[in-house]
Amino acid sequence: IVPDFRADSTQGPLAFHDWAEGGWTVLFGHPLAFTAVCTTEMAALAALAPDFARRGARLVGLSCSPVEE
């Protein structure tokens, strides 16, 4: 089990355990915004988000970059 954490997100404040409760969660990370790999991986996961949602899974990505980036 991933430890609980709180973070600012592009969707507003996030309390991870509260947000993830009751379903499957895919937690992924990338080092910094606008790096070559992160841009393509984020776009690929965003495109697949409806498929994950149909299966009851939610996506959340972590980065070292500030929300504004």
Res 69: pLDDT: 74
10-residue averages of pLDDT along the chain (69 residues): 89 93 88 72 89 94 77
Closest to 61 (Cα-Cα) out of 16, 29, 24, 22: 29
Per-residue pLDDT, 55: 95
Catalytic residue among 38, 45, 59, 60: 38
Eight-state DSSP code of residue 3? P
What pLDDT shows up at residue 67?
Answer: 74
Q: What is the pLDDT of residue 42?
A: 81
Active site residue 64: no
